[in-house]
Chain A
Amino acid sequence: MLFNSIDFAIFLPIVFLLYWFVTKGNFKLQNILLLVASYFFYGCWDWRFLFLLIFSTGLDYFTGLKMFDASSSGMKKFWFWLSISVNLGFLGVFKYYNFFMASFAEALSHVGVQANYSTLKVILPVGISFYTFHGLSYVIDIYKDRIKPERNFIHYSVFVCFFPLLVAGPIERATHLLPQITRKREFDYDKAVDGLRQILWGLFKKIVIADNCATYVNDIFANYQTQTGSTLLIGAVFFTFQIYCDFSGYSDIALGTARLFGIELLRNFAFPYFSRDIAEFWRRWHISLTTWFRDYVYIPLGGSRGGKWQAIRNTFIIFLVSGFWHGANWTFIAWGGYHAVLFMPLLLLQKNRRNTDMVAKGRILPNLKEIFQISITFMLVVLGWIIFRAETIGISLLYIKTILSKSLFTLPHYVVGMSKTVLFIGLLLLVEWFQRDKKHALELNVTGNKYLKWTIYYSIVLIILEFGAYSQSFIYFQF
């Protein structure tokens, strides 16, 4: 079930009404309802994978308890590694098996050995990377004695399967979400209204910008050989906005939906395209994943405590792993590596934490230096997205080569057709710029003029209905 579908528009109000009216504020009943709704939500995609989801949830729940109750550190370790290996095993089989086999066979062929291997015709269970990471963080936190295990299976299952975050995050932490699930939730009018606003803005980003950009991006990337450099550059810039609006739009809808149920999820995006350097970009892009890798990979590996070389090594590791997390393709690994390379100068010069606050804080407009920094960072990010989007690394290099050719200075195709999309990208940037100190772009003053606010809401609804493109699935579902 997609967030931008009629099915979801029917599903959400039903669950909302049952949640607040039928359960009469009993949070245990509410959790049962959320769990049933979440399984239904997931089952609408493919009910067979519900068993995998339930098994994965049960495994982490069980091993969490076993670790906590273990009589010796050996037993604790055993349960910990059992959970880790089964979780990663599922990921390996469903997501990476064919990639590893193909890469292994190709490597052997370079030394003259022709290996026969069979590929698995596996469907990637939607959201597997997200819910596996939920489970992993829970198990690791128990193992490290940071939290106690949740003894109520329903509560724990809601933590893993809560439908707004089930298929594309944000990747939650037990320390943040579980306490909210195990206590009574009160309806908060202002938060619920703000949740609806965030959903509306998410839908605008997804349907008006991401889906309109997708039409051009798919065509340009599919026919990159016959396109001019200027058209390819437009394709890359459009993809930059497509992936941002697709994923952050999804996150906005997820966060807004959760707020309707009195639950706050982790923020996933903080206006990343206003970043002044790559380090800042990574503090603002897919925050829940970035911090996950920081806390569960980078810091356990020693972080930057062991000197420069260790910091370099660990930085490369998390960027490469982060790239690989996105999918079984060398392009994702190359994309991770590319960002690691961009990050290195900042790390070595110890400038990776110089831009921690929002750009042009307290001012309306940025200064020239900030404009320059934002533009350079944006172009570097655009280049990275070409690697990410291309089918192979070779294609991405050809694509970039064509952009850097003379044909960059010719008139691009599609100019007339894409003008509306460009206009809406402009609107997005404008709204986000003026709202950049807020949690989301449509966060409005609660005591403001009601008529003005309703005019804004209806305007967005009308733009969505009039200019929204045919709905496509969310990009991050495949990850």
Chain B
Amino acid sequence: MKRFILNFVLFTVVPLLVLVLVYLITDPFKTIKPFDLKNVSTVNRDYLSTELFLKNNKIYHYDSFIFGSSRGCGLNTYLWKSYLPKGSQQFLFQAWCETITGIYQKIDYLDKHNQRIRNVIILIDVPGTFLTNQEPHEVMTIKHPLFSGMSWLKYQSYLFRAFLQPSEVIKSISDYTLGKRIPVNFDTISNDWESTNIDSWQKQPMQNSSLDKSKFGIKPKDETFSTPQINESFEKILENIYLMLKKHHASYKIVVSPAYDQVHINVADLHIISSIFGAENVYNFSGKNKLTTDKYNFMDLNHFDLNVGWEIINTCYDKSKSVDLKCK
């Protein structure tokens, strides 16, 4: 028995302790040491958004928020600001693979901390926002403990598990020893992804010519509809979000995101969203339309460009500039 235990400890416990030590020293996901803009990790957008919000909010007192998943990278809050009342301070409160539960947790947090909520855009993915089986425990998508209520130790255990990937261990050690830093490719005030020079952008919309468009594949001939996804619990969450926005007298827009696959949001789901938030506040860009037909509007199958984001914001706030969604 002693031999067995000794061999087992040598085989597992010793390497594990070494790895724990490496993890604590290298801090691969930048979640152990205090948040520092000079040394961040963009692996988990939820963590980054939350920490940036906590750091900045004392100074900027944000009151306008865009909630949503990575598709929100196509929305630029500075463009949005031109439609907001003077003095508004906007923030892209984004998380990779954000779910409606994640959005609700964020709004609930803001509400409970007496944060003013004046303007809101909620970006809905088909089908990501209402994925029932989505596990939030992967390194990219695990929720900040502030929202999930998970203990810090458990949170770190999930990240440590991701760190155990040998290539991640090697990368962490080499980054640490070489002092490599990830370049900050987000706006450190608004949290916009890849902050752009707005003036130059408006003259020359991004077309992502560098991307290999052949990887986009063939679109299905007919428009397809997503299966119903909003169950009773999601409906309840949507109602709670609505009540909180109403409580804050917030101006809000619910945007169903366009995607290159042209899958249309389920009609019943759209009806539920419209009945809760009011049809006049719901903007559906899913399915086959002008925006989703042109592959140059997308960075990949799911993520639209800034020019699409600009058309979305125009459509939501200025009817005269609204995009004709009919497919030509």
Contacts and interface: CB of A to CB of B under 8 A. Distances in A.
Contacts of A454: 11
For the residues of A in contact with B, the DSSP-based class is: helix
A457 B1 CA distance: 20
Contacts of B3: 189
Interface in A449-474: 454, 457, 462, 465-466, 470
Contact of B165 (A6, A189, A465): A465
Contacts of A184: none
Nearest to B3: A189
Contacts of B165: 465-466
B4 A193 contact: yes
A17 to B, nearest CB: 8
B38 interface: no
B168 to A, nearest CB: 9
A6 B157 contact: yes
Contact of A20 (B1, B8, B217): B1
A465 B11 contact: no
A470 B138 contact: yes
Contacts, number: 25
B97 to A, nearest CB: 12
B85 interface: no
Contacts of A445: none
B167 A189 contact: no
A466 B166 contact: yes
Interface string B1-32: 10110011001000000000000000000000
B11 A457 contact: yes
A48 to B, nearest CB: 19
A226 B220 contact: yes
A189 B7 CA distance: 11
A352 to B, nearest CB: 41
A273 to B, nearest CB: 29
Interface string B150-185: 000000010001001111000000000000000000
Given A465-B165, A466-B167, A192 B4 contact: yes
Chain B interface size, as a band, is: 10 to 19
Contacts of A153: none
Given A457-B11, A465-B166, A470-B135, A189 B4 contact: yes
A464 B8 CA distance: 18
Contacts of A413: 217
Interface in A146-196: 187, 189, 192-193, 196
A462 B4 contact: no
Interface in A333-353: none
A45 to B, nearest CB: 16
Contacts of A457: 11
A462 B11 contact: no
A364 B217 CA distance: 44
A179 to B, nearest CB: 24
Contacts of A193: 4, 7
A226 B3 CA distance: 57
Contacts of B220: 226
B314 to A, nearest CB: 33
Interface string A294-324: 0000000000000000000000000000000
The 5 closest A-B pairs by CB, nearest first: A466-B166, A465-B164, A226-B220, A462-B166, A187-B1
Given A187-B4, A454-B11, 16 more contacts: A20-B1, A187-B1, A189-B1, A192-B4, A193-B4, A193-B7, A196-B8, A226-B220, A457-B11, A462-B166, A465-B166, A466-B165, A466-B166, A466-B167, A470-B135, A470-B138
